[in-house]
């Protein structure tokens, strides 16, 4: 198994893409730590499923916009499961849809903190631990929104995901000499509660109709790319953003 005897961390691992990635890592033999903030039941379910299959797993509630809580996550993960080999910085979200004329500064800052600041704090903690070992892989969570500007009322989300694309490439340059690879995934329409909350049935149908593959993606479609980017199979890949969207926007 690709991740046998290795420890990985998935932030935002209690639902959706994070849950799929945590389960996929465990299936490949990894000991998995996952964080959650509101998905306590989902996180507990992921841990139960991994342990029931004979694996090792740990769920930690943490606000990843706070330095001390990020440090707690990394210390607890390595203390209980071992040295981290891979981190999927998945935590984030759209928060809500607001046009610029109605967007407050507090809302703008919240979107930045939940997505970009959490990614920075997670990446920094990972770098600090991986650099002395001169090995490790980090996968960030971007979005199709970074490339197409997102839908109505999501300008802040598009902006912050674009920043994550640039930050991922900058981290790859910095991490290469330290033995750390950094790549990202940029999903399009994936069938998760994200789109149940922030999209409409009509909007989803319109995207599917514009998608060459003619369907929505599944969380595991993203999880498998995350596994590839954090495994030895992609040993010479860094600074890449893999778009996972069924071809929408390319034709």
Instruction: Measure the CA–CA gap between 118 and 43, rounded to whole angstroms.
Output: 19
Q: Pick from 142, 94, 133: which is nearest to 240 by CA? A: 142
pLDDT in tens, 140-166: 999 999 999 988 899 999 999 999 999
Radius of gyration of the chain (CA): 17
Those residues whose C-beta lies under 8 Å from the C-beta of residue 191, and which sit 6 or more positions away, are: 216, 217, 218, 219
The mean of the pLDDT values for the chain is 94
pLDDT band at residue 217 using 50, 70 and 90 as cut-offs: confident
> What does the pLDDT read at residue 197?
64
Q: DSSP assignment, residue 152?
A: T
pLDDT at 21 over 90: yes
**Mean pLDDT across the stretch 168-183?**
98
pLDDT band at residue 251 using 50, 70 and 90 as cut-offs: very low
pLDDT band at residue 198 using 50, 70 and 90 as cut-offs: low
Instruction: Give the predicted TM-score (pTM) of the model.
Output: 0.94
> What does the pLDDT read at residue 214?
79
Distances, alpha carbon 92 to alpha carbons 37, 53, 96, 108, 110, in Å? 11, 28, 12, 14, 10
pLDDT in tens, 85-129: 999 999 999 999 999 999 999 999 999 999 999 999 999 999 999
Under 8 Å between Cβ of 138 and 84: no
> What does the pLDDT read at residue 191?
82
Which fold does the domain 7-244 belong to in CATH?
Rossmann fold (3.40.50)
pLDDT at 22 over 50: yes
pLDDT in tens, 79-91: 999 999 999 999 9
Tell me which residues are annotated as active site: 157
């Amino acid at each position: 198994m690709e991740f046998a005897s290795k420890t990985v961390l998935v932030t935002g691992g209690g639902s959706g893409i994070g849950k799929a990635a945590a389960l996929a890592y465990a299936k490949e033999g990894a000991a998995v730590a996952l964080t959650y903030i509101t998905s306590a039941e989902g996180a507990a379910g992921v841990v139960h499923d991994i342990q029931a299959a004979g694996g090792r797993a740990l769920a930690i509630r943490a606000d990843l916009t706070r330095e001390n809580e990020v440090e707690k996550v990394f210390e607890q993960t390595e203390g209980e499961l071992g040295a981290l080999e891979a981190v999927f910085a998945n935590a984030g979200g759209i928060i809500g849809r607001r046009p610029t004329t109605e967007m407050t500064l507090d809302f703008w800052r919240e979107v930045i903190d939940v997505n970009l600041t959490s990614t920075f704090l997670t990446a920094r903690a990972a770098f600090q631990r991986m650099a002395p070992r001169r090995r490790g892989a980090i996968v960030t969570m971007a979005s199709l929104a970074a490339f197409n500007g997102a839908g109505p009322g999501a300008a802040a989300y598009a902006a912050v995901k674009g920043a994550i694309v640039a930050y991922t490439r900058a981290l790859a340059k910095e991490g290469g000499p330290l033995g750390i690879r950094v790549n990202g995934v940029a999903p399009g329409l994936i069938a998760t509660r994200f789109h149940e909350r922030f999209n409409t049935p009509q909007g989803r149908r319109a995207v599917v109709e514009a998608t060459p593959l003619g369907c929505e993606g599944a969380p595991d479609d993203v999880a498998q790319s995350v596994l590839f980017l954090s495994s030895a199979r992609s040993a010479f890949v860094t600074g890449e953003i893999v778009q996972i969207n069924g071809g929408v926007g390319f034709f």
